[in-house]
A and B are shown apart, each in its own frame.
Chain A
Amino acid sequence: MILNNWSVRIGGSALIVLLLIALAAPWLGTVDPSLFDAGSRDLLPGKSGEISTLEGERLKHTFLMGSDSLGRDIYSRVLYGTRVSLLVGLLCALAALSVGILCGLLSGYLRWLDGILMRFMDGIMAIPAILVAISLVAIWRGSLTTVVVAIAIPEIPRVTRLVRSLVLSIREEPYVEAAISLGTPTWKILFGHILPNCVAPLIVQGTYICAFSILVEAILSFLGVGLPPEIPTWGSVMAEGRAQFNDYPHNIFFPGVFLAATVLAVNILGDGLRDTLDPKMAKKV
């Protein structure tokens, strides 16, 4: 039934293709993305040249997407960057969902905790997401964990609010009241009765967080406050190409296309899932 939806089909297949690209990057005609060669600087897409390995050996290589001002292969950097982006998107979504679900369940079910917890969440929401992320990375120094945590934290209040609103309506359902009178412990009611009935909107929310996180990671890398420079990401490739954009637009064009395509695919998938899983949130009447 889910697979009958065209948005799910299109978004899903695009993501599968990107995932395969990420996994198969070493076998798709790439070289180590950190390799460079002074003789192959600023090559246009499709030009051949040479690249030197760590052992000093010089290999013939075709630069499908051209090379940057240090003579690195953009094609290899973009393909390996796919790994980072997908991983960051997935981890951020999982992190924000798991913390947000816990806070939302507690806040919606335990009324005494609600006021305190939600005011705290309001506080987090009052600071722009990017600003929070930049500050956190600046404090902790860039690494994958830091970036994921920094991007996930501003998303937690949104998930918490969503879960809380779902819990507030589900907790009034007679089946929850029946469970109370059957002597079911509170944690079992939360995780056995309430959470399974929140899953559909949460999956949808998860895809949106995933798409947003991929964008934020690219922004952080672009600003130079993301992952360490030795890890190639779309954002850092674009940042490095920024100065030469007028003469060599391919430095920004190719990673930009991949970034746009990935975010679009995740969003289309999210829209399709929303329409099939969660009729209440669907835009079509």
Chain B
Amino acid sequence: MSVLDIQNLTIALPPGAERARAASQVSFSVGKGEILCLVGESGSGKSVIAQSVMGLLPKNLPVTAGTISLLDENLTRANEARLRQLRTTRMSMVFQEPMTALNPVMTCGDQIDEVLRFHSAMSASERRKRILEIIAETALPDPERMVASYPHQLSGGQRQRIMIAMALVLDPALLIADEPTTALDVTTQSQILNLILELQKRHGTGVLFITHDFGVVAEIAHRVAVLRLGELVEIGTRDEVLKRPRHEYTKMLIASVPALKPVARVARPDTRVVLQTSKLAKTYVDRGWFGPRREVHAAEDVNLEVRRGQTLGIVGESGSGKSTVARCIVRLVDPSSGEIRIGGTEIATMGAAELRPLRRKVQIVFQDPYRSLNPRRTVGEAIMEGPLNYGVPRPEALERARKLLELVRMDASALTRFPHQFSGGQRQRICIARALAMEPELLVADEAVSALDVSVQAQVLELLEEIRTRLDLAMLFITHDLRVAAQICDQVAVMSKGRVVEYGPAEEIFLRPRHAYTRALFDAAPGRGFAFGST
């Protein structure tokens, strides 16, 4: 018997949206003890389907046809009171961002207790016993302390464990997990995935797991359903879908996932050194009027070297200091000590006026394409801004902008349009064009493809690679994604807790990692058993 059965589910979008329906004619079921992964790119409707099951759809997205049956009860006809009864008792949900999903002013214990108070007749002591039991089950250390902790006192992974404990405390038949590991680091992600697998097996829970990450799918799914623009294009067992995809779209998606195996590259040790850092360090000091002085060593003793035509990847988890290093090199933050040489010139301690002529040699592309462009300026103005700052005449700057748009494969008509008229991938191309307009020697890409969908990510990576060879640029590529690093980097520096723990040619590091942290990072990479990117 299936726990969740969705038949011909159709959900309308408000008039004026880019398509008529958020989901159309979607049918699938989740069996007892089964994990079904719902995969799709942003805007595919996967979260909307999850919300429709939980009865959490906003009013402007009505279910117009189809049925959602939870243990043979039709949820589309259930009223709000009934849905409230069913939530957490029969079905519950884990969200992407555990910091915002938990109430910051209630202790974790009180938040789980609230669920029990509303949905069970347990006495206070029984409830407390149950809370400690479920927290222990999620493998959190010291359950007594966890119960008394506020969300901000826990790490991201611990918060997500609390969310899972809260979702499973009443032993529901269905667990909906909406991108539960997307906000987490790769090592934490693998622990949370294991926890979900283990609890699901023990309780026989049916799981609807929503993700955009095929690596995660390979780790956790029994069956996979692929969504595209609200339509279900393919459904099958994990091996069927991942190894023998039938639909063109699925094939394209799977081929876009970068392989974990590094691409063979020709070493060119004789080219000119563009960037060299030695003993670079950044320490953040918190000097309160009262209370002790606190120091955070964001980066320490970082020695890197990038040559012309070469890509150096800095890989690490959040808080490892990789972005700090990038921002020091671009001089968006001032380094505390150490040297940064751009083409032989020391810039780490340079004053603003001295630095200004050298700024154009180093350009940066940021992670979030939606915030990297001023919403009130046209694309043309954005691309021309740099050259105009350095005295290039306007007609020449415009001509350069036009050529660069062509280089990043965009139409010249984009010049007079505003950023909101473009998709994330297109915006990232515009940002690349803006950086290239300065004719830099070093391009810093700070997680530049991390916010993009996998198919768009593949295109942007290809573009960066092409630009690097064509313009013979040096590139510093910051990423948390090992797959991306394997595809684009000649050299890789692995950072952990502000220090470079391993540094060398990409092939060397990927095939023969020496440092324990690097090995842990590779072991945690989801889906390493599958050969993605090769179909």
Contact = CB atoms under 8 A, between A and B. Distances in A.
A167 to B, nearest CB: 14
Interface in B344-377: 356, 359-360, 362-364, 366-368, 371-377
B164 to A, nearest CB: 29
A213 to B, nearest CB: 29
A123 interface: no
A188 B377 CA distance: 13
Given A182-B434, A183-B389, A174 B372 contact: yes
Contacts of A197: 374-376
B332 A183 contact: no
A180 interface: yes
Contacts of A128: none
B330 interface: yes
Contact of A183 (B359, B371, B374): B359
Interface string A167-180: 00000011101111
A181 B389 contact: no
Interface string A191-220: 011001100000000000000000000000
Contacts of A175: 371-374
Nearest to B367: A174
A174 B368 contact: yes
A179 to B, nearest CB: 7
A184 interface: yes
A180 B334 CA distance: 13
Contacts of B386: 182-184
A192 B389 CA distance: 13
Nearest to B369: A174
Interface string A148-180: 000000000000000000000000011101111
B385 interface: yes
Contacts of A177: 332, 364, 366
Nearest to B444: A181
Contact of A178 (B331, B356, B372, B390): B372
19 contacts: A173-B371, A174-B367, A174-B372, A175-B372, A177-B364, A178-B364, A178-B431, A178-B434, A179-B385, A180-B332, A181-B332, A181-B359, A182-B385, A182-B438, A184-B385, A196-B377, A197-B374, A197-B375, A197-B376
Given A182-B363, A196-B376, 9 more contacts: A174-B366, A174-B368, A175-B373, A178-B366, A181-B330, A181-B331, A183-B360, A184-B385, A188-B389
The 7 A-B pairs at the shortest CB distance, nearest first, are namely A182-B386, A174-B366, A174-B372, A183-B359, A196-B376, A175-B374, A183-B389
